[in-house]
Amino acid sequence: MKNYNFPLLIGGLLLVVGMVLTILDFYRFEYLNTLPEMDLSIREIEIYERFDDKEFRFNKKTALVNIIEDPCLEEDELLIKIIYYNDFATLSKTMDETFNYKKLNIELSYDDIVSSSFKKVLTKGFINLRQGKIYNYSLLFKPTIDVYVNKNDYKRIKIMNY
């Protein structure tokens, strides 16, 4: 029997060098947790809501929720601004109310994705990839909810993960 240790050693060495070069190539990319500049149709919805001695709940699993203090609003009153990309999702909202809290429910439907916008994002993504930038394109499918509330009611706004 012949001894095949030398070719095995060369193959293992080439594998290790290839893995090191691949890992070093990944380090040249810049990872950004935003979206690149694109002209996409953004839709904004404003909701004024009163929550009379109850707490108000939001789901952070389906949206990015920011709570902002606004001294212009009265107590037990809040302004909700929902911002989303109209070409990538259709938004429907409902309000649930129980004896101790109110909850904003947001459901997104991805059935009506506009193909021209998807193609635009895909093209822009490849261009950015060639430039060594990787953006967070999942933000296209997650609405941003800005909640403006009086500072006295700030503690009554709860962000849940359900």
Enumerate residues 6+ apart whose C-beta is below 8 A from 5: none
Q: Is 58 domain-assigned?
A: yes
Provide the pLDDT for residue 2. 64
Sign of the CA dihedral running 116, 117, 118, 123: positive
* Token pair for 162: 């359900």
Q: Is 3 domain-assigned?
A: no
Q: Is 19 domain-assigned?
A: no
Cα separation, 117 vs 115, whole angstroms: 5
* pLDDT tens-digit map of 33-82: 888 888 788 889 888 888 777 778 887 777 888 888 888 888 888 888 98
Q: Is 51 domain-assigned?
A: yes
**Percentage, residues of the chain above pLDDT 90:** 9
pLDDT for 1 beyond 60:
no
**Percentage, residues of the chain above pLDDT 70:** 98
Q: Which domain, by its residues, includes 137?
A: 34-160
Cα separation, 87 vs 40, whole angstroms: 7
Residue 120 pLDDT class (50, 70, 90 cuts): confident
Provide the pLDDT for residue 15. 95
Cα separation, 134 vs 92, whole angstroms: 30
Residue 14 pLDDT class (50, 70, 90 cuts): very high
Provide the pLDDT for residue 27. 84
Please give the tally of structural domains in the chain: 1
> Nearest CA to 65 among 151, 148, 137, 155?
148
Task: Give the chain's mean pLDDT.
Answer: 83
Q: Is 7 domain-assigned?
A: no
Cβ(110)–Cβ(91) below 8 Å: no
Q: Is 117 domain-assigned?
A: yes
